[in-house]
Structures are given as C-alpha cells and as structure tokens.
C-alpha cells in the first residue's frame, strides 16, 4: 500500500469489520515511511490529519488512539497527540512543547525548529504553508519576555485588526499595542502594528528589539504589487534600528541577496502542513457557473471560499447565487441592517440575506470584518472573495473553490495558486480541506524572492533610493538624488513624501501645477476650500490620475462627492442619499466605497503634494487642515479608528461626543452594548460586543482603555 494512493473517502464508507485492519495497515506503512521519507514529506504528513478526522468518527477505531498518538509524535505533528490515550512518553513530549501562556497551544516539530533559531538571536526568513501556524511563532517570541519593542509589518488593515485582537487578548497586560497613526507610545514595551504606509511615517519607533514582516514576498517588485517601493523603504528603515528580524511567507523556494554585509539571515523552507486537502477537478464541467452553484448548495462544503478575479466578479456571482437559492437562515438581520444603514438598493444586502457574502477591497471594513466573523461561525456559509482575503485574514474555510484563474486580468502564477489552495482546511476545525478547480492550474515552478532592499542599491528605482540614509549611499546614488531634487525642486524629505505616489507621477503633477499657476491662482488656498477651489485642485490631480481610480467619473463628480461628504452630518446620511440618487448602472454601486477609501489614502497624498509645489511660489498656501479632515472623512478620528477595529461608523457616530478619542468612545460603546440602550438594536448590540471583544455576560477583555 502506498500513502499517496489511499482512497480516503472510500475508506470512510468501509464496514466496521473491515475498517480496523485497513486503518492499522495505513498506520504501519506510515510508521515505516517515517524512517525513509523526507521529514516534511506531504504524503506522509497528510496521513495524520486524515486519521484525526477518521478515528473519532468510528467507534471501532478506538483501539488505534494510542498508536495514532505515537505516529503523530514520530511525524512531528505533536499538536495531534491525543493526551487522553497516549502513552507516558508521547504525553510528556506533548506537554513539553505546550505553552500555557498561549492558552495551552501545542507546537509541532518545525515550529520548535524555527523558534530555536529565533531565540538564539538569528535573523530568520521562514517559508511555510498557510496551515503551518506561522503567526503563532510571533506570539511565542513575545511570550518569552525577551523582546520589548517590536514592529510588525502587515499588508492590510484587516490583517492589522486580526493581529491586534489576538495580541491584545494575550499580551495587553505586558505591551502597549498600537495600530492607529494617532496612537502614541508611552512606555518601553510596545508592539507597533502597521502597514508599510503607517510604519514608514512613525517618529516614535526608537530602537527595536524585533521587526516582523508578514507576507514578505511582497518585497519583490516582480510580484507586481504597486506598494512594493513603500514596503521596501519601510522595512529598510525598520531594520536599520532593529537588532533582529523575522520574515514570514508561504511557498518560497529561495531568497536572493545580491549585496552581502548589510544584513545576514537564515532561510528556513519547509512543506510542513497541519491539514490535508482533497482536490476535485471540475475543469470539464459544461456550465461552470451552474456547477459552482451546485457545489455551494451542498452543506458538506461549508464554510466555503470562492476565489474570483475582481470585486465586480465577486459582486455579480454573489448576486446571481442569491437569486437562485438560500444557504442560511441566520443573516436576515444583517441584511436589513445593510439596507437601513448603507442603502436599500445595495445588491450585497440581498446576497447576504440569502447567505452569500463578499470580501474585497471595496467593502467597508467593519462590514467585511463582520462577514468574516459570521463566516467563521458558520452563519454566513459562502464568501466570494478576491486576493484581499486569500493573502491575509485567517478563516475557518472547509472548502476553497478556485473559480477564476486571473487577478486583475492577468493569469496568476503557481505561487499565488498554491497560496489560494492553502486556505482550505483549518487545524482544530477542518482537518481535511477541500479544493475545487474550475481551470487548469499553473505549471509548478520554484519561486525566488528578490527584495529590493537586499539587492544592489545602484540598480534600484529612484522611488526607493531617495529613502537611503547617507551612510548607505554611494557617489552614484548621491548624484541621482541630487538630480531628482533639482528636477522636482524638492528637498530630500519632500522627495520621500513624493515617492509614495511615484516620482514620475510627482513630476507630471509639478508640471501641471506650474501651468495652472501661470494662468490663475485657484490653487493658492488654505483651510477648507469651496467647491470651485476643490474642483480646480482636482482638475490638476486628474490630469495625472484617472478620476475612476477614486470612485468617480470626472473631477467634477469627485469634487461634488467631497463636498457632499463634508456637508452631511453623518456617514449614514451621506450613504443613504447616494443610494437614493444613484442614476448610473447598479453595477457601479461600489464606487462610493472606492471613493471613501481614496479619501483615506490616495487623494490626501496627492493634495499634499500639490500643496508642496504651490508653496514653492506661494507660501501662504496651506492644505494641511483639509488633507487631515478628508483622510478621516471630515469626522472625529475615533470613528474611523474604531471602524478599522470592526465597529461600523453608522453605529458609533450615534454616541460620539466632542473631544472623544478612540478609548473614550470605545468605553462608551462598551457601556451601551452591555445595557438595554434603545439606540441599539439587538443585532447591533451583538455586533458591538463582538467587535469590542466583550463577552455576553458582561466580562470585558480590558486592553488599551476598554474597561
């Protein structure tokens, strides 16, 4: 018998009299393979989660509990050891690698290998499958007390919030955990959580004990991530002040360093996975969309992630699915809340009512967070998602249905495919995941990551080299930076700010600003501009950026949206009016959310850059107040901060008071959530309790001011 050729589904259906000897034979073959196979051989490793799924479900397999634990110990999956049935040796091994301070989590062998390297002081770059448990290693390091000041770089706000929640629950008494740009470090033990855009601008980092970079493959410009320059620059800045670093990512075969000496590291690559996956080939389905809906109707596939190529695609498929069937009876209140607080015409409301959610960059953060929460509780059985979910937030997905083969109109490569596939199954919930393929998978190939900051600086882009400190530059780089300063008429600090939008974009913007100033002075303003002044500034911006990038069809519509956002007393009122007055195709509904994201990041950077160029000639220009207000939607900063933590602004804006910061507003929301305040519906009360990490009995996890 070979471990690869086992039909596990057929085995599950085997009669009791035949099952015991067959499973024992599999365990015997696996025990033999332990001595002959590679220590991270997937064919061997997958036997353990499959047996963990099978043995408890069949009473006749009870005699195999003890030998199963011995096999789990031999393979290195010590977290699968059944302590109630294991012998003394296996039980002692499991107890030796269990961390009571992390809630009794048991590590597996490869996690211990990585931890030993890190605790010896080595810089480590770890490549491991999604189900490896990489994030747990961060928690284990923090629990040792060896690290006091830590920076963690994460790719998305959603992942920031996930980390924040987990770290607050475990370490709120030991660390300040800062996530928002307005948070200020007060003590020595601090965890700075941030995207690259947030961490590159922090002035309170000090000397760091540890820098962690999650999804580190995004440092490679060949990954076509438009934020890679800022990521490399931010990580460069962090590593210069950090005594140790730890990079994490999936499915990487090699890391290229072209310049020796600046940083050294150990690269650890492992295929060690804690779950098994069944793959089903549906490429030959005559009607793929019909077959997709057939699979989504099956409860055995829930919770199910459906990977699609774009937000528009996710929206359309969710709407189509909701027109044909319902897969949940637990989402009616959520759908009604969406209609009342976002808009009755939003197609997503109907999709949610019938059990279908979506997760992509346009969905408001608190709403997306609640969808993931309901998905993980099996209340929202299906999520249509893009790479925003696949590449970051952890879910309890049993099945992943890979419906498309593109991201942003380009075929994804094997690396991305393997990352998507790795989201099926979750340790402790779904030992065996399911993957459904609707297209030919990419050809398997090795993936090498070549971060810009590990390469030859002289061959790096202008946008990156302007961030290098003087001691790391060469004469050739200094000459390049000098030429850029002269061309753009910017200081080195201003060049760094301009690099956030791209120096080529900055040059084009400068030329249009200069041309505008020759004809009139509409760009010379301060405070809050009126409509015409806003429009004049946006007309310059939209000469270098398409208004559609910001959720509008033209500069004039963009100016109107900004004015409308400013004038409405609540975000809910702004959204409801837009819902009622929408005259374009309903497929463009998400543009309003795209606009709100652009107000947070994108438009503020461009307005600030226009101001820099205008001030070169007219020092009275001052856009700072407008830029700051726009970035928080012309509302109290606490509302947006809590929105990032899963509290919808439509709820929190009912309770905000002048002078509130994030902590005071959070305390007030906690109080009303635990009361019978009539301003909250029962659904909203439950949402608040979950977002604020408060249990239903009134017990409060008391991190960072919520008490």
The pLDDT, as a whole number, for residue 697 is: 62
The pLDDT, as a whole number, for residue 75 is: 96
Span 356-410, pLDDT tens digits: 999 999 999 999 999 999 999 999 999 999 987 766 678 889 999 999 999 878 8
Torsion of CA 610, 616, 617, 618, to 10 degrees: 70
Sign of CA dihedral 503, 508, 509, 515: positive
Span 12-68, pLDDT tens digits: 889 888 999 999 999 999 999 998 889 899 999 999 999 999 999 999 999 999 999
Q: How confident is the model at residue 259 (pLDDT cuts 50, 70, 90)?
A: low
The pLDDT, as a whole number, for residue 1 is: 46
The enclosing H or E element of 689 equals helix 682-691
**Max Cα-Cα span within the chain:** 91
Looking from the CA of 82 toward its CB, the CA atoms found within 13 Å total 20
The pLDDT, as a whole number, for residue 258 is: 80
The label of the residue with tokens 């990419």 reads 442
DSSP code per residue over 446-472: --EE--GGGS-GGGS-HHHHTT--GGG
Q: How confident is the model at residue 701 (pLDDT cuts 50, 70, 90)?
A: very low
- DSSP character for 87? -
Contact in structure between 104 and 398 (CB atoms under 8 Å): no
Span 562-591, pLDDT tens digits: 999 999 999 999 999 999 999 888 989 999
**Residue 702 predicted with pLDDT over 60:** no
The structure's pTM equals: 0.95
> What 3-state class would DSSP assign to 122?
coil
**Which whole number is the average pLDDT over 502-528?**
96
Q: By C-alpha distance, which of 420, 392, 131, 72 is closest to 271?
A: 131
Torsion of CA 465, 468, 473, 477, to 10 degrees: 20
Average pLDDT of every residue of the chain = 94
Q: How confident is the model at residue 699 (pLDDT cuts 50, 70, 90)?
A: low
The pLDDT, as a whole number, for residue 704 is: 37
Report the distance separating Cα 550 and Cα 329, nearest Å.
Answer: 36
CATH of 276-437, one of 2.60.120.10, 3.30.1360.200, 3.40.50.300, 3.30.365.10: 3.40.50.300
Q: Which CATH superfamily is domain 109-269 in?
A: P-loop containing nucleotide triphosphate hydrolases (3.40.50.300)
**Residue 266 predicted with pLDDT over 90:** yes
Taking residue 515's Cβ as centre, other Cβ atoms within 10 Å add up to 11
Contact in structure between 170 and 229 (CB atoms under 8 Å): no
Q: How confident is the model at residue 703 (pLDDT cuts 50, 70, 90)?
A: very low
The pLDDT, as a whole number, for residue 391 is: 65
Contact in structure between 599 and 592 (CB atoms under 8 Å): no
**Which whole number is the average pLDDT over 538-558?**
98
């Amino acid at each position: 018998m070979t471990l690869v050729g086992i039909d596990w589904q057929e085995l599950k259906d085997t009669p009791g009299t035949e099952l015991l000897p067959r499973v024992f034979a599999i365990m015997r073959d696996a025990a033999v393979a332990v001595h002959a196979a590679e220590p991270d051989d997937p064919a061997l490793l997958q036997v353990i989660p499959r047996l963990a799924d099978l043995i408890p479900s069949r009473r006749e397999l009870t005699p195999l509990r003890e030998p199963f634990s011995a096999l789990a110990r031999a393979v290195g999956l010590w977290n699968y050891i059944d302590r109630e049935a294991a012998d003394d040796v296996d039980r002692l091994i499991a107890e030796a690698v269990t961390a009571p301070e992390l809630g009794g989590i048991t590590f597996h062998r490869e996690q211990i290998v990585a931890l030993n390297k890190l605790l010896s002081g080595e810089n480590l770059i770890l490549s491991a499958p999604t189900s490896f448990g990489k994030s747990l290693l961060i928690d284990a390091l923090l629990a040792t007390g060896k690290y006091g000041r830590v920076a963690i770089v994460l790719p998305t706000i959603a992942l920031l919030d996930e980390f924040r929640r987990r770290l607050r629950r475990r370490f709120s008494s030991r660390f300040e955990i800062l996530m928002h740009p307005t948070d200020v470090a007060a003590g020595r033990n601090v965890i700075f959580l941030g995207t690259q855009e947030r961490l590159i601008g922090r002035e309170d980092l000090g000397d760091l004990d540890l820098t962690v970079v999650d999804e580190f493959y995004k440092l490679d410009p060949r990954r076509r991530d438009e934020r890679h320059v800022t990521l490399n620059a931010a990580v460069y800045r962090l590593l210069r002040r950090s005594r140790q670093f730890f990079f994490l990512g999936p499915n990487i075969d090699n890391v290229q360093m072209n310049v020796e000496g600046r940083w050294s590291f150990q690269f650890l690559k492992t295929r060690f996975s804690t779950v098994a996956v069944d793959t089903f080939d549906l490429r030959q389905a005559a009607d793929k969309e019909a077959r997709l809906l057939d699979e989504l109707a099956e409860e055995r596939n829930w919770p199910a992630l459906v990977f699609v190529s774009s937000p528009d695609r996710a929206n359309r498929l969710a709407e189509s699915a909701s027109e044909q069937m319902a897969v949940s009876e637990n989402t009616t209140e959520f759908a009604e809340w969406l209609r009342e607080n976002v808009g009755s015409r939003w197609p997503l409301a109907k999709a949610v009512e019938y059990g279908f959610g979506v997760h992509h960059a346009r969905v408001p953060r608190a709403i997306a967070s609640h969808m993931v929460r309901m998905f993980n509780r099996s209340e929202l059985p299906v999520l249509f998602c893009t790479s925003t979910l696949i590449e970051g937030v952890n879910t309890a997905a049993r099945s992943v249905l890979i419906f498309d083969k593109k991201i942003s109109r380009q075929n994804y490569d094997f690396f991305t495919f393997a990352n998507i596939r790795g989201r099926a199954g979750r340790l402790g919930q779904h030992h065996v995941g399911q993957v459904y393929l609707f297209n030919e998978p990419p050809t398997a190939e090795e993936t090498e990551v070549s971060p810009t900051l590990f390469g030859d600086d002289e061959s790096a882009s202008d946008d990156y080299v302007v961030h290098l400190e003087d001691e790391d530059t060469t004469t050739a780089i200094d000459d390049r930076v000098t030429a850029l300063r002269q061309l753009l008429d910017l200081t080195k600090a201003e060049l760094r700010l301009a690099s956030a939008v791209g120096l080529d974009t900055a040059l084009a913007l400068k030329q249009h600003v200069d041309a505008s100033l020759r004809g009139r002075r509409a760009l010379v303003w301060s405070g809050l501009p009126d409509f015409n002044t806003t429009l004049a500034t946006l007309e310059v911006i939209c000469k270098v950026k398409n208004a559609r990038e910001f959720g509008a069809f033209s500069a004039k519509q963009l100016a109107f949206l900004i004015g409308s956002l400013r004038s409405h007393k609540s975000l809910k009122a702004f959204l409801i009016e837009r819902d009622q007055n929408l005259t374009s195709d309903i497929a463009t509904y998400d543009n309003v959310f795209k606009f709100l994201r652009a107000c947070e990041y994108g438009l503020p950077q461009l307005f600030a850059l226009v101001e820099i160029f205008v001030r070169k000639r007219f020092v009275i220009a001052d856009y700072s107040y407008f830029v700051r207000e726009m970035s928080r939607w012309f509302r109290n900063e606490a509302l947006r901060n809590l929105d990032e933590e899963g509290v919808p602004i439509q709820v929190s804006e009912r309770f905000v008071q002048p002078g509130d910061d994030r902590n005071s507003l959070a305390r007030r929301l906690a109080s009303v959530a635990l009361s019978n305040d009539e301003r909250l519906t029962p659904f909203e009360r439950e949402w608040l309790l979950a977002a604020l990490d408060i249990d239903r009995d009134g017990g409060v996890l008391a991190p960072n001011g919520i008490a």
